[in-house]
Amino acid sequence: MINLTENAAAHISNYLKNRGKGEGIRVGVKTSGCSGLAYVLEFVDEVDTHDQMFVQHGVNVFVDPKSLVYLDGMEMDYVKNGLNEGFEFNNPNKKGECGCGESFTV
């Protein structure tokens, strides 16, 4: 399961509303960076029947089966810290990350 905080769900809902379309957001991983994996976020306009779907605070979150192995139990938050803002991933499966924080390993 992927958990969204209320802040993350509100941010995603606003983006979907401004886009005028979309079934939700897909969260996944891809091979990248010096540690191995990086998070991928994309809007879902057409549901893939293979995806697992979770509903959090009224937002549909889709995860493909291969990514779910690495993301199960993760919490996504949306934070503003001074001039910086963005999603933060609290992933209990993560064992380490690269120095720049762009990729992680499990």
Q: Looking at residue 85, which CATH number applies to its domain?
A: 2.60.300.12
The three-state secondary structure class of 19 is helix
The three-state secondary structure class of 72 is coil
Query: Are 104 and 93 contacting, i.e. CB atoms less than 8 angstroms apart?
Result: no
Residue 104, in any domain of the structure: no
pLDDT in tens, the chain (106 residues): 899 999 999 999 999 999 999 999 999 988 876 657 888 999 999 999 999 999 999 999 999 999 999 899 999 999 998 888 889 888 887 765 644 455 455 5
User: How confident is the model at residue 96, as a pLDDT?
Assistant: 59
The residues, ordered by sequence, that sit 6+ positions from 43 with a Cβ below 8 Å of its Cβ are 15, 16, 19, 22, 24, 25, 26
Q: Which domain holds residue 32?
A: 3-94
- Domain count of the chain? 1
Residue 100, in any domain of the structure: no
Residue 91 to residue 2: CA distance in whole angstroms:
9
